[in-house]
Structure formats: C-alpha cells, structure tokens
A and B are shown apart, each in its own frame.
Chain A
Amino acid sequence: MKLTDCFWERKNLGENVCEVTVEDGESFDSEPFLDLNSRYTYQVIKLPTGNISFNTGLARLGYFHIETQLNWVKKVRDFDFCNELIVRLEDNLSFKDVISEEDLSLLLNKIDDDMFSTDRIALDPQYGLAIGRIRYCNWIWSEFTNKSSYISFICIEGTPVGFLMLKVNGRKGYGLLGGIFKQYQNMGLGVLTASSFLLYIRVRALDVSSYYTTTSSNNPTNFRIYNKLGFDLSSMTYVYIKHVKPAE
C-alpha cells in the first residue's frame, strides 16, 4: 500500500486528506487504516477491482464505494482518425492554447458548477457541485502556473465550446481534464471530450505514442463514447471514501 498525504486538498476541501493506493494482490489488514483516522478527516482508498477481501474489510471500517475508475489507453497510431464521427466532429474544429492570464481567466469563468457533475467530489453530499468546481479550477490554475500541461480551448468555427488539459511525460500523454461548456452540452460535442486529446496530439505534432485517461463509472455516457471510439479499457479501480469527524 502506498499512502499519499494530499496536502494540496487542504486548499480545495479545507481538511486533511489522504489517498491510499492498494497494489494488485495485496491482502487486507485493518491496522494501517485505523491509524489514519487520527490524521485525516477525508480518506480515499483506491484498489484494483476484484479484491473482495479488501472490499469487505473496508466496508467493515466504514468506507463506502463512491465510484469505479475506468482506465483507458490508446496507441496514437492505432486511433481511427477516419472514424466517421471523428471526421464529422473535426470539421471546423481548431484549438486555441491557453497561454496568457487573460486566456486562463476566460477559461475559469466558463467552468460552471454542472460541468463536472459526475465527479466524486461533486457527488459527495459533504462537498457538492460548487466545491467540485473550485477544486477543478484550482487544478487548472496550478497546471497553468507550473506550465506542466498543455491547456487549450476546443473551438468550433473559432468559438470556444470546451477545453482540454493534457500532460505529456516522455512519449506518454495523459488526458487530465476536459469538458464542454454548459451552453454547448448535449449537442454531440461530448464526443470531443474523448477525441479532442488525440486530435490535439496530431494537430500539434506532439511526440506521444500512447494516450491514457480515466473516466468514472458515474458517467456511463463517457463509457459509451470511449468504447465507441475504440479505446482499450486497461484496468478498473474501485474508489472508496470515508469522512471522519474531527476530534472535539
């Protein structure tokens, strides 16, 4: 097991947060989890699907399953850029990189509470949509400030309809975040949240051989889109959470 102190979440969520990552094949032991309660008021446990001893053990300790993460991968060279849906969407599509403070401000202003409504923070009654939005805005701001990701508007006929945030590490590309702005949602552009990253890699001629991203079981439409576009589901991860009342 690997424990991460998510110090950055203090700014987002206002409490001490940890994330525990369980490796494949690990057996459940309650001892390390009991120790967490005195240090962290919000605990996130991620484990590979199918580890039933962990599932039942975590449930006994008061953790509950909030989502299953679906981990997708696609070799860029294998992506079907000729897929009729991609071809149709690519028509009049362009990208405008977020490079100035003004661009960033414009982007953050376009992100509304509903944009990431299936996110586990947004769905958590303890947090909700507004906190979920602030958390994502902080993340975008951080990636922009650190210049650690490509951030770009997705434009149709020159009008920004959404955005993407792509991190490149070596020859691997990671789709961190993307979304369609509220006024353009439910009009077929959701497919762009999956395909725009590959199109961006191609348009910008980035030296990326494999593309990785994660979606949530709480967003079944996203599952259909990735499946339809030929992404490979490489693994799935259960996500359990627990809120601990701070000691009086």
Chain B
Amino acid sequence: MEAFIAGMGAAFTPYILWLILAGTVLGIVVGALPGISGSTTTALLLPLTITMTPTAAVAFLGSIYCAANYGGSITAILINTPGDPSASATAYDGYPMARRGEAGRALGMSAFASAIGGIFSVLVLIVAAPLLARLAYQFGPPEYFALALFGLSMVAAVGGDSASKNLLAGASGVLLATIGLDLTTGVERFTFNVPALSDGLDFIPVLVGLFAVSELFERISQRHVKLEAIKLNALKLPTLADFRKCAKAIGLSSVLGTFIGALPALGATTAALISYNETKRWSKYKEEFGKGAIEGIAGPEAANNAAVGGAMVPTLALGIPGSTTTAIILAGLMIQGVRPGPHLFTEQPTLLYVVFGSMLACNLLYLVLGFGFAKAFARITLIPDAYLWPGVFILSVVGAYAPNQSIIDVWVMLAFGVVGFFFKRYGFSPAPLIMGLVLGKMVEETMKQSLLLFDQDWSQFFHRPVVVTLFAITVLGLAAPLISSAWRRRYPKVPPPTAR
C-alpha cells in the first residue's frame, strides 16, 4: 500500500502529468493518422524516451499505448480505414453512423466506451499483476525458459492467418536476437566486424523500420485507393439514452477485453472482434448491426481498450509481451535498463504504480479530450498522403538516428522497412518477428542457465511440474492449428440445405 501511494505520488508530479498529457495527445493524434496503428505510433515515438528517466519513459509510453488505441477508432469512424487493426470492428457500425451525419455521436460513444474499458482493465491490472508476480516469484531459469517458449509459441496466433508463417517470422526474430556478443563465451556472432553490432541489433531502428517505413511503402503502393472522408459539420454527442442502451455492451466487453488481452499474444484486435459478436448476440437490436448500431461501437471500443490493461498483466508480471505494442514497450523498458518480471514488483514497485497511475490518468484524459476536441482530431484524417508520409519518414529517420547518432541505424531502419513491406505482401506479419526479437535473448539465456543448473542434463527439465505443464500447453498450442486443419480436411463442412 505504501508503494502504491508512493507510486501514485510519483505519477502525479507536474512533470509526469505533463508527459502523460503529451503522450495522450500524441497518441491520439498519431494514432488517428490513416494507416498508422497503435504499435507504429509507439515505435515511432519510442526514441523520445531515450533521454528520460525510466519512470518518465514508462508514464509516456503507457499513455501513448492507451491513447493510440482510441485514436485508431477516429479514422475507422470517419474514413472507414481503421487507424489500428483493433478498430476494424468499430468501422462496421461507426462508418455507417458517420455517413448518416452522426459522426459526433459515434466518436463520443467511442471515447466513453474506450475510457470505461480502459479504466476497468487498469483496475484489474492493479490487482492481478502483483498476484501473478507473486506466483512467478518462485520461478527459476527453467520455468522462465518454458514460459518464454510458451510466449514464443503463441506467435503462431499473432498477425496473419498462417500459423507456420507466423512461427517462421518468430524464429527469424529469435535468430536476429543472437546477433552480437555471446555473453557466456565472449564470441561475436553475425557481427561482420561492425563494432555497432557487438551489442546486438538495436530495437528502435528495427521497430521503426518494420512498422512505420513498411507502412509507408504499403501506402504508396495503394495510392490509387481513394478514401471518402466524412466532414464533421455539427458535433452531436451521445445522449443519456445512448449510454443506457450501451451499458450492457460496455460491461460485457470490458470483462472480455481484459481477459483476452491478458492472454499472451492475443491482443486488442481479437478482443474487439469477439466482443462485437458477443455484443450483437446479447443485443435487443440485432438488426441494426452493420447499419450503424451505436452498441456496435461501444462493445468493440470498450474491449480493445480493456485489452490494453489486460496485455500489460503478463508484460509486467512475467516479462512476456501480451501484444505487439507491449512487445515494443517491453523493448523500450529494456533500453532503459528495466527488465519486467516478478522481481520488478519487489525491486521497483514505484515504477509499476507509475504505469498504473499514468494509464488511469490517460484514460480519464482522453475521455475529456475525446469529447472536447473530436472535431479537431477529425481534421487529422484529412491530411493528404503527399504531406503526411514524408513527415513520417523524417520522424522515422530522426528516431532511428538519434539514440546512437549512427547512420548505420538509419540503414538498418530502411532495410527493415523493406523487409516489413515484403513480409506483408507474402502474408507475414511483423508482429511475430518483434516478439521473437524481444523474447529471443530470454530464451537463450534461460536455456543456458538451466542447463548449467542441470549439469547439461536436458531430462532435468521434465522433473519440474511447472515446466512440464508449460511445455504441454506449448505443444498443444502449436499442434492446435494442425489438428484443426487436418480435422477440416477429413470432415469438410457440409453446406446447409437450401430452402425450397
């Protein structure tokens, strides 16, 4: 409790409050730019944290993470282009509402539902993360090795539809994590005698390249697609009747979103899509869905923001990212010299409570900003590509160059931009690669430590119940897509008989 009060005190200093406000506004603004997702926003703004203290960096990143998710829904509603994949379900009903002149009502409900979902999940995070950390405090290197393998196996479900391509991207990320000096033997690996590579690949150029630069190539390759933008002539906000109508959807989706977000690698997009279906299933007005149902905005928006807090539970308590954006935040914390995990709860509890405090404050802030400045944020979506993307490119270059003042990092950024572009063209997602890059070191280190502990006897892994359980879940998780596709091949779905 003392740490909680101290953390809240640290979270609400004028400097941190200013950073939370800046993070929230930047998160909404950049998240609202068409084609820039929450993870791209976080990757693009990550270099700004290099000169900050860990506490300030954590507050800033936490605010960006929360706000960018909300920012993504602005483009979904106004131009039918989700700023973030997690807002895709919002577009189903948000855009039809905007087309019939109710953009303000849709944006207002999105801000309200997002804030409620976000606040609920932060409260769950405050309770659940320390409990999970207490449980994980008993873990040794073998358990962490099994946990990291489990986290990596979950990349099969992240990104694209192809489990084998997701795993291939994840394994490539792990291989990239081996670049640099091997700490146990002192051997330089894949460094090509470039001193800058001795410490391994820097996260920032890779993240900025994979997310921002690849998205730039993607946008210019689809320049012929014309988007119809809705103008906000009059801002009509949701009524009390709207809030009453959506209360059940918001409550249900907040719980669902938090739970789904907490599962490693299952993020806000899955949460929003499942919540959309559940909201429709439990609604009295099913026929309105897809044509501009306000519940169709409330449900997914509450869920995708609730997933933010949920995803922070495994990230902070175990050091296993719960989503792509938390993988980027994890990278940001590692750059700051902070390694999330159960030890963080005993060694740096204040830092954790700053995360909780900043996320709570950010959710309240964008509720205010969402209602007050919806019209201003809406204008962001009208910026033409020819003005927007050169600016994004310059920010990417600055972000890649600034931390180490190295031109090599700018080349690395461009190279990973090209890799990310080809990834998307061939059905890969950059998210598993990032997960592999972030978790790769942990897998190798814990494996080596475990084997030293076991005197190089691999069979010792199977003498530890937690390890065996985690291995079993990992194998089941990996086998599930194969079993289900084999099942579908053997028992193909018979189409229902047509009515005569």
Do chains A and B interact in one complex? no
